[in-house]
Structure 1
Amino acid sequence: MPVNLTAPDASQLFPVAGVRLGVAEAGVRKAGRKDLTVILLDEGASVAGVFTQNRFCAAPVQVCREHLAQGAIRAIVVNTGNANAGTGEAGLRRARQTCTALAGLLQLQPRQVLPLSTGVIMEPLPVDRIEAGLPAAIADAQASHWARAAEAIMTTDTVPKAFSARARVGGAEVTVTGIAKGAGMIRPNMATMLGFLATDARVDPALMPRLALELAEGSFNRVTVDGDTSTNDSFLVIATHQAGNAPVTSLDSDEGRALKAALLDVARQLAQAIVRDGEGATKFITVRVDGGRTADECRQVAYAIAHSPLVKTAFFASDPNLGRILAAVGYAGIGDLDQTRIDLHLDDVHVAINGGRHPAYREEDGQRVMKQAEITVRVGLGRGDAADTVWTCDLSHDYVSINADYRS
């Protein structure tokens, strides 16, 4: 069961003017489930994307990068059940064939379509099934179908992930709605992760690539389930320019900061939902590292803790074997780290001070915190003023079972 996460209420997801979503059952891998999604955009929308840094990136990632460079995106097609990764030139042809099929039905150019896939790696994409399912997905497209789309893009997720917000930007109300999928193979580096975030705000199209990057850095690039960076990670940000706000021409202006804050709020909720729904997860863990010389080194230490199987299994067992956290800090790769300056807190419990056990620390206090569903680990490095935060989950028996049975 996910950690303090429930399926979205469709009535609480706000339509974004200029965006329609439709889903269908195409039988990409299994019959009887929604596995094909189209996102249709009005003319004039702007789209930017951030993609996996995995050098073995999937065919759809490569095609998305090509098409985004040419601009004027009008449609997105997403299939689950098959990642179309590790498929060579044939995979690229099939990704492009999918774009051509959808473009033909919508009277667009193939370069105006972005393909995204998620699922099993190294299997041929069944383009014939996708082509057969596209008319039904198009016919299903409505502005209110965010919850349906969130369900249709799932793989091992147990609940759909979708959030909305409204904010005042440039003298008018703007809407933000986003969906994402992911539960395993999660350590985005721009997990398997797909994210889509749309707003009706008017924003200079030239700002969109920077906006997408900064949003990813503040959200999806702060989560990990198992440390595996997917071949298919993709995060798309859409602006339809249909709200009544004064156009945002700088992200450093008051209007730009207000828009980014609204978008980042939804992006972080989506990113944290992925961790809350991590495969087999029973606990949601915030790892906060402060006192660093740079934010990058703080994040490096935070990820060492968040990726450690020994730390993660201790949290699953509610076992306050907290020396494992200090060990992870030590091997994080900070060459001149002074262990005598390290502090460790577990929520309100001061576990270690100056690199050693705090005199007042009692194991029953540590266990009390570790039994909680939500836990904050805070490490002080004692070497500067920088800080950073990562969100992760525990590692349970079910994680092994889910991934052992993934293709069955």
Structure 2
Amino acid sequence: MTDYQAGKKWDIGLQEAVSITLDSLRRLPAATLPVAEVSGLAAAEDLFAGVDCPSAASSLRDGYAIRSKDTKGASQARPARLRVAGASSAGDLNNKTLEPGLALKVLTGARVPAGADAVVAVEHAREEDGYIVCSREVPGGCNLLSRGADVASGERVAARGEILTPGLTGLLAAAGIDQAPVIPLPRVAVVATGDEVVAPGHAIQPGQLYASNLITLCSWLRSFRMEAKTGVVKDRSAAIQEAVAALLPWADVLLTSGGAWKSERDLTVRVIEEMGCTFLFHRVRMGPGKAVAFGMMGQKAVFCLPGGPPSNEMAFLQIALPGLLYMAGRPPVPFQTRKVRLAATVAGDIAWTRFIHARMEQRDGKWWAVPQRMKSRLQSQARAEALIRIPEGAGTLAAGQAADVQLLRSPCV
């Protein structure tokens, strides 16, 4: 082997490639952010409530705070009569104590005075001459939200590694947590290479093409809320090195598009290796996406993706994206996988893991994966709703046979 080849694995299986990637990466250092900005991020540590919520017993209904024992034996024939001693609404900082035989008019969310242990709903009592008339017994705790019922001070609200959903961030705020330590999302530098590649917005000449891979990658990153900075450069060692050197200090991860194969013009992997990257594997037994390489440049992860659009996207989705999610403290599984029937026969390769673009179709209440049969690879990629996965060693899967399908869009099965 040449020096360029030494130390890296070649032509490995997909599962091994993913394992090497995840084993080589580390979670990003925690950052403390305002609770309004942590939705979708993983908690960096256990989070505990600092206050009770509610901070005092409060009413769940518009009505009257009462002592339940004052309604004992109440009926239509012998209603209980309680004098209305005032009123309270949500936010009132009253410190009242309810004496026997009294009632306090309360609105939903209002603090219930000490001594009261129930709220009779306004529709179940009538007010006359400064009294309420209640013709039924009201049990203790009725329409009452006790102190700490939503969350108690000291209670664990979120566990380390838990993804903070919008609803959970609301609970954190209710628990008195205004800032939370979280694992941030990685910042990603994306460099597209190729003499024929032109950034969108510029005029192209015959034989040139727009950097569609760049846009696809950035759109996937955006869909997972990851920030990206980009560059488009010619197939020149100095240009590639300059672009990488300019972007890498800002980024946690470098993605390159193109120049990952083994011709004289495929310079990307070689140039980045000369810049100090230690590549751990190059070329994976998967199709499309074979020519992917992965390495580490210090603490920075580097994924060199092939230039063909389907190969570029597939290498990103199957290897790079799981790694990015892992760095963010999230499960390294970007998409849900379902077992569904195949609408047509698909051919695999016993030596490769193969992925086929598909759309999902419902038949008689069940979902089927319909392989894309488009002449255009870009059209097939653009219209794909799912990916049929034919594992290494499986060969051909017949129509009607069950297969694993990754759902690229909202789950439908």
Please, what TM-score do these two structures have when normalized by structure 2?
Answer: 0.22
Please state which structure has a larger fraction of its residues in helix: 1
Please, what TM-score do these two structures have when normalized by structure 1?
Answer: 0.22
Of structures 1 and 2, the larger Rg is shown by: 2
Please state which structure has a larger fraction of its residues in strand: 2
